Amino acid sequence: MFPFTFYNPVKIIFGPNSIPKITKELPINANILITYGGGSIKNNGIYDQVVKALSNHRYIEFGGIEANPDYETLMQAVQIVKEKNIDYILSVGGGSVLDGSKFIAAAAKYEGHDAWDILSKGAAVKEAIDIACIMTLPATGSEMNGGAVISYRKIKQKRDFGSPLLLPKFSVLDPLHLQSLPTNQKANGVVDTFIHVLEQYLTYNNQAEIQDRWAEGILQTLIKIGPEYVHKPFDVDIASNMMWAATSALNGIIGLGVAQDWATHMIGHEITALFGLDHAETLAIIMPGVMDIMQHDKMEKLESLDTNVFGNRTKPFNVKATILKTEEFFQNLGIKTRFSDYQIYEKDMALILNNLEIKGDIKLGEKKHLTKEKLTEILVSRL
């Protein structure tokens, strides 16, 4: 196990009907900006609950943050934050609203000339506005981490950044909020969470027993509850477990002291930037390819996945069958797993390669063995 330092101070407020608790969490003298997305919170009653909880607080609103939050939209909010002296942001929505809010919080305090440098050049976040969230979609884990992913549609790029300064002060996780989610967003959430775990688990054995068993526990849970969460009528216990699975997958704990991959995410981000697929849709295409083409690096963990997660006791272990089980899990949730399912063809692969090259040298994966040649093999294998 590698040495590590772990710090995660996010206060989690979990359970049905939790929104009234934010009244006491938000400083009474704060100058708050409530951020939200395309309007789902106005249709499902969450907005009304928030407004009620803030009846004695001072706040203004910024709505319209799109899925895969766009840099230009967020810069409009930065302007408002500066003009109105906002000192607290309350994000109400899914991962996109929260990620966008994290960027607003950092960009409003950025002293450089161009805030895009935070994303394109990794310019340091030295200060940020306080932020908290009501997470309405279990998927990204953004509610308990300091990371964010921002899109810039004009230049067809998507970049991530992060800072401990962007860890939410608190996050409200109310499983009842998941009742209004469309089926495809539920499926996206299961797939994204599953792949967050694989990015940290499916590398090589680093003798991190606790982390590996935690990771397997999350994967087992998703296999058990995922289909019911997506396809059956709402059940508060299923929703609760899904919410906690998503948070647990990307709050840092399962990644402590282990090698991490994240190649699937890096490739997936470019596919969203170029072709507009949902985040999880891109991951479901790429992950089976990474498992296959990089199997030599991952063999021991592929076998653990097969035995400890899929429960296969038959030996010898068959790597192709394990990859197929993973792919079928995504498909059974209703998520497609091939480029051709989205009318993306061989001629488009050069665009993905080019976008990844713009980011820098292509050497991805836990051992940096995923070179441009391997990447090409992965992409072609998923047509």
Query: Under the rule (CB under 6 A), what is the footprint of ligand NZQ?
Result: 37-40, 44, 67-68, 93-97, 99, 136-137, 139-142, 145, 147-149, 177-178, 180-181, 185, 188, 192, 250, 265, 279
User: Of the two residues 243 and 303, which places its CB atom closer to ligand NZQ in the complex?
Assistant: 243
337's contact among Zn ion, ligand NZQ, none, with CB below 5 to 8 A by partner kind, is: none
User: Of the two residues 37 and 288, which places its CB atom closer to ligand NZQ in the complex?
Assistant: 37
CA distances from 354 to 31, 218, 230, 285, 358 (A): 43, 35, 35, 19, 6
Helix (H, G, I), strand (E, B) or coil at 125: coil
**Token pair recorded at residue 305:** 């996945």
CA distance 44 to 281: 25
147's contact among ligand NZQ, Zn ion, none, with CB below 5 to 8 A by partner kind, is: ligand NZQ
Angle (CA) 35-85-36 rounded to 5° is 5
CA distance 190 to 231: 12
User: Of the two residues 33 and 303, which places its CB atom closer to ligand NZQ in the complex?
Assistant: 33
278 part of the interface to Zn ion, by CB under 5 A: no
192 part of the interface to Zn ion, by CB under 5 A: yes
Helix (H, G, I), strand (E, B) or coil at 60: strand
Residue 321 C-beta: closest distance to ligand NZQ, Å: 27
The maximal CA–CA distance of the chain, rounded, in angstroms, is 65
User: Of the two residues 281 and 303, which places its CB atom closer to Zn ion in the complex?
Assistant: 281
User: Of the two residues 97 and 128, which places its CB atom closer to ligand NZQ in the complex?
Assistant: 97
Cβ(103)–Cβ(69) below 8 Å: yes
Peptide bond into 316 cis (omega under 30): yes
Burial letters 253-270, b for 16+ CB under 10 A, else e: bbbbebbebbbbbbbbbb
148's contact among ligand NZQ, Zn ion, none, with CB below 5 to 8 A by partner kind, is: ligand NZQ
**Token pair recorded at residue 200:** 């940290």
Residue 54 C-beta: closest distance to ligand NZQ, Å: 18
Of the candidate spans 147-155, 164-172, 191-199, 331-339, the one that interacts with Zn ion by CB under 5 A turns out to be: 191-199
Of the candidate spans 108-116, 187-195, 205-213, 364-372, the one that interacts with Zn ion by CB under 5 A turns out to be: 187-195
Of the candidate spans 102-110, 157-165, 190-198, 329-337, the one that interacts with Zn ion by CB under 5 A turns out to be: 190-198
**Token pair recorded at residue 56:** 């004695």
Helix (H, G, I), strand (E, B) or coil at 260: coil
96's contact among Zn ion, ligand NZQ, none, with CB below 5 to 8 A by partner kind, is: ligand NZQ
Residue 324 C-beta: closest distance to Zn ion, Å: 22
64's contact among Zn ion, ligand NZQ, none, with CB below 5 to 8 A by partner kind, is: none
**Token pair recorded at residue 23:** 């009244």
CA distance 214 to 309: 11
Binding site for Zn ion (CB under 5 A): 192
